[in-house]
Copies of this chain bind each other. A is one copy, B any other.
Amino acid sequence: MNMGVATVRLKVGTKGDGAVLDLTQQVNEAVKKSRFQSGVATVFVPGSTAGVTTAEFEPGVARDLRAVLMRLIPPEGDYWHNRIDDNGHAHIQAALLGPSVAVPFSDRTVLLGTWQQVVLVDFDTRPRQREVICQIVGE
Contacts and interface: CB of A to CB of B under 8 A. Distances in A.
Task: Categorize the interface residue count of chain A.
Answer: 35 or more
B95 A98 contact: no
A89 B81 CA distance: 24
Interface of A: 2-5, 7, 38-40, 42, 44, 46-48, 53-56, 58-61, 63-65, 68, 72-73, 79-84, 88, 91-92, 94-104, 106, 111-113, 115-117, 119, 133, 135, 137-139
Given A139-B3, A139-B5, A44 B100 contact: no
A111 B80 contact: no
Given A46-B111, A48-B55, A113-B46, A100 B99 contact: no
